[in-house]
Chains A and B, each alone.
Chain A
Amino acid sequence: MLTAFRVSKRRVRLATRATRSLSTTANHEESDIVIVGGGPAGLTLASALGSSHAVRDTLKVTLIEAGDLDKVRGWSMQPGKFSNRVSSITNASQAFLQDIGAWDHVGVERTCPIEEMQVWDGISDARIMFSAAEMPSPAGFPQGEMARLTENLNLQRALLRHLASHPTIQLLDKVKLQSISCEEREGGGWPLVHLSDGRVLRARLLVGADGPNSPVRAFSGIQSYGWAYDTHAVVATLDHVPRSPFEPPNTTAYQRFLPTGPIAFLPISATASSLVWSTTPALARRLVASEPAVLADMINAAFRLPEVSMRYLHDRLLEADAPLSASVLRDEIAFRERAHGVDPRSAYAVTVGATTGVPPADADAVPPLVTSIQPGTVASFPLRYNHADAYVGEGAGARTVLVGDAAHTVHPLAGQGLNMGLADVEALARCIHDALSRGGDIGSYTALLPYARERYFENHKIMSAVDKLHKLYAAQSAPVVWARSVGVEVLNELDTLKAAVMMTAGSGRYSSQSAKAVGWDLAASGIENVARGVGAAKSVTDALIGIAGAGVQGLLRQVTSPRRS
């Protein structure tokens, strides 16, 4: 799955203008919707379309995935062992997956509720907590839960199981999108999708669910705006001691913002959690190459030691000619703990470890101590920010739409990437359904526009909140660092994070519906707005506007007054 991400753009020959022979040689297959990409977004879209009677009956849907979907179908791991690619599925996302009938296929025993989140600043220690009680949760969800940590493969397998009951959705795997051309036809041609096995699909609607390097995005000529963060994320599955009966269960997610980047601890079971540690590429390389005991202690230290000491340990790790040994690191940590006067019985002690007996009073301020790393789970990814300029293609890229990471790639610090993709899919599926019920052409710009309108700004808000936060912590300029060190601004910014998380926590799911309910209100003020716009252009025909404007005022009063009464 990780390697499947790396589809080089160069290998996809992009022909925006096809020769006439290409469009008239009729050796292509017709497909109403071609979804490129069998990641979480693509599979969810296929599932959502499959679960709609109207879509199933009238549209031919084809999904193309370069990787081997049988591997996902047959994916299994022994209990207690977990994949390193996990996502926190918000209640809103889960509600959607339930609606389409896919969530029932998730191995829930391998998922873990997140009930609380603790986030703090590495320098000032300013901290905020947020719990499920503050989050809007869709009806029918336990109040105590804000998200569910789920392995991506667990979700993808569930989607494939769900799709097995909808055989009309055609899944083509181990086949690659090779190039896309645009038919030459008066009034706009349709996309022709050329596959690595020589087949050509003519698509009424082409969906790019093909991840961050999206070949579909490149074809459709949609520009995107973004940059690589000078940051990599180290992921791993961590084993740790269970919380004692006197402590809260392992359902709290922790994240500490270090100047090098945030480190996150995400519970997946009572004794295992997932790591996402964003840091400099050089450090990431060293961490990945370290022996497991070293990585475990570095993680424990990163949640506990004061920032100066972490900086020191980072330097040690980078400077060492030979890899740092576990015992040397342990001595270093013990020394720093003594120097800082860390109470060996407190939760902040790394080297003393979990002792028997009553847990320290501050036990839930930090995650449990990591005892080992599950073999084969350590990996690292470069992080980037990227947002497509548009979600719907035009001109030679007409009849294309982007969802998921193909449309937006975001820093994982708020755990929103996948959730944003699922919200895209929900909106797009609804849009397709609506267009269909009114006899619309689902590939037309008009049919797709509501999707873009619903999602673009929503995603943009989350992305800029997350990006702002990353920037604040990555900034090295003196005033920013100073402000951070004394805790000024930090709490505000952590609130930004909270807002970003809240945005997708469940409220978003209903905003579209309520927007429909107030449609007429908007329409009423729409008249007002047009009237004002005209009124503003006074220079043209003053008198006319004077007369008509008076009429408008009267009419507007009619529109608005009965509502108030």
Chain B
Amino acid sequence: MRAVRRDLLTALRRTPSFIHIRSLAHQSRRTLSSATTSQAADTSHSSVNPDEIAHFSRLSSMWWDERGEFGLLHKMNPVRMQFIRDKVLEIMRDDEGELSAERERNVLQGLDVLDVGCGGGLLCESLARQGGNTLGIDASASNITIASLHASSDPALRFSDSGPSASSSSHTKGGQLRYEHTSVEALLAREGPRRFDVVCSMEVLEHVDNPRQFLQHCAELVKPGGHLFLSTISRTPLAYLLTIFAAEHLLRLVTPGTHTYAKYVKPAELLGFFQAYRSPPSPSTSTTLSTPTPSTSAESAADATRPWISRLYGGVPARTEAETRGIVYVPWNGEWTLVPRGAPGKECAEAVNYLFWVRRPRED
């Protein structure tokens, strides 16, 4: 088993990482507001863009080189974990009042957590250390190999290679960690909806086809009252300038071809999506794969469920329903900074990289 992996890794390393620049002009504007229905009808692997997956597979051996290709993602990890932690704790406090010190330390203890597009498992390991029973899925098999290999070297992670039951003994209180090569569509089809307390998908949205459908699938997997966390890049000139032009071409921080401008999603578009989005009524097994657009689903499901975001106040959702927060890279600190709530220039910061959280309404 080990030997096979080793061969795979060496093969990966030898693959020349050729420069792959996609032209803006040839990219159709597949934004959230202009999703086409023909693509939505596509079945199981509809969100997976083969070019994207090939691109990440080529780079997969570099996931854990903290100063290499994915260095910026490594550095982003503390900030996004901080956001996840703070948000989950905030909502728990709203629901349950004061929390124990134990809970504050292991926020995700006992929760089922899914990371969609987990890559090398950067976020998954942190989620598991915070106590979450974590499943990481990715459309690239070699990413899953790397993620598994890395997790298996850390005795504090209760990583299991096979079934969800196996676990290595450890005195730490981390949750179980598993990886699987699958798509969100296939997972939903197999496991059914309402499976996870927390669903994350970080820096993936800008790489998928049918983002609308991708989001719906992610959302359906969230348990009522659960959380959906996203991070992505906004579609603004500044984002283009900093992420594609500067990061890829000028500074070569990431391999050219990593980003496609047309796939960037603005915070307002995400908010708009969840203002319209209603979960399929419960209990539902048959509706799992039907992906109605909010406008059509509204009639059938209106009585049963309400939209995830009820209204915006001057463009801003209620703190208990959703939140967008900009994150900014500060070069001389070598750190990402989470822009404070209500900070001056908040909108500006969200013009590039931002984190997004939304809660699935409770059904009680």
**B155 contacts chain A at the CB level, 8 A cutoff:** yes
In the complex the two chains form, is A453's CB within 8 Å of B66's CB? no
Bound Cα distance from A130 to B240, whole angstroms: 55
CB-contacts of A181-229 with B (<8 A):
183, 185-190, 204
Bound Cα distance from A127 to B256, whole angstroms: 62
- The answer, among B78, B105, B173, B345, for a CB contact under 8 Å with A562, is B345
In the complex the two chains form, is B241's CB within 8 Å of A394's CB? no
Chain B window 48-92, contacts with chain A (Cβ cutoff 8 Å), 1 for yes, 0 for no: 000000000000000110110000001101100110010000000
- Considering the complex of A and B, which 9 residue pairs feature the smallest CB-CB distances, nearest first? A559-B345, A439-B126, A562-B344, A439-B129, A438-B81, A526-B330, A523-B337, A548-B241, A439-B130
Bound Cα distance from A235 to B80, whole angstroms: 52
Bound Cα distance from A58 to B102, whole angstroms: 11
Q: How large is the interface on B (under 10, 10 to 19, 20 to 34, 35 or more residues)?
A: 35 or more
**B149 contacts chain A at the CB level, 8 A cutoff:** yes
Chain A window 540-555, contacts with chain B (Cβ cutoff 8 Å), 1 for yes, 0 for no: 1100110111011001
In the complex the two chains form, is B337's CB within 8 Å of A548's CB? no
**B35 contacts chain A at the CB level, 8 A cutoff:** no
Bound Cα distance from A524 to B172, whole angstroms: 39
Bound Cα distance from A71 to B310, whole angstroms: 69
In the complex the two chains form, is B64's CB within 8 Å of A547's CB? no
Interface of A is mostly: helix
Binding site for B on A (CB under 8 A): 30, 32, 53-54, 57-58, 60, 183, 185-190, 204, 394, 434-435, 437-441, 444-447, 449-450, 453, 519-520, 522-524, 526-527, 529-531, 533-534, 537, 540-541, 544-545, 547-549, 551-552, 555-556, 558-563
Complex: chain A residue closest to B9, CB-CB:
A186
Complex: chain A residue closest to B351, CB-CB:
A555
A186-B9, A190-B153 known; A548 vs B349 contact (CB < 8 Å): no
- The answer, among B64, B81, B149, for a CB contact under 8 Å with A439, is B81
**B331 contacts chain A at the CB level, 8 A cutoff:** yes
In the complex the two chains form, is A438's CB within 8 Å of B82's CB? yes
Which of B64, B126, B241 gathers the greatest number of chain A CB atoms within 10 Å? B241
Bound Cα distance from A537 to B126, whole angstroms: 38
In the complex the two chains form, is B66's CB within 8 Å of A58's CB? no
Q: What's the nearest-Cβ distance from chain B to residue A558, in Å?
A: 5
CB-contacts of B325-359 with A (<8 A):
328-335, 337, 339-340, 343-345, 347-349, 351-352
Bound Cα distance from A519 to B351, whole angstroms: 19
Bound Cα distance from A562 to B85, whole angstroms: 29
Q: List 30 A-B contacts (CB under 8 A).
A: A53-B105, A186-B6, A187-B64, A187-B150, A187-B153, A189-B153, A438-B77, A439-B125, A440-B126, A445-B66, A446-B78, A449-B335, A453-B333, A519-B337, A520-B339, A524-B328, A524-B344, A526-B330, A527-B328, A527-B348, A527-B349, A527-B352, A531-B242, A533-B246, A537-B250, A540-B250, A552-B238, A556-B348, A559-B344, A562-B345
**B127 contacts chain A at the CB level, 8 A cutoff:** yes
In the complex the two chains form, is B344's CB within 8 Å of A547's CB? no
In the complex the two chains form, is A435's CB within 8 Å of B78's CB? yes
**B101 contacts chain A at the CB level, 8 A cutoff:** yes
In the complex the two chains form, is B105's CB within 8 Å of A437's CB? yes
Which of A57, A526, A551 gathers the greatest number of chain B CB atoms within 10 Å? A526
Chain A residues whose C-beta falls within 8 Å of the C-beta of B339 in the assembled complex: 520, 523
**B252 contacts chain A at the CB level, 8 A cutoff:** no
Complex: chain B residue closest to A562, CB-CB:
B344
In the complex the two chains form, is B105's CB within 8 Å of A548's CB? no
Q: What's the nearest-Cβ distance from chain B to residue A552, in Å?
A: 6
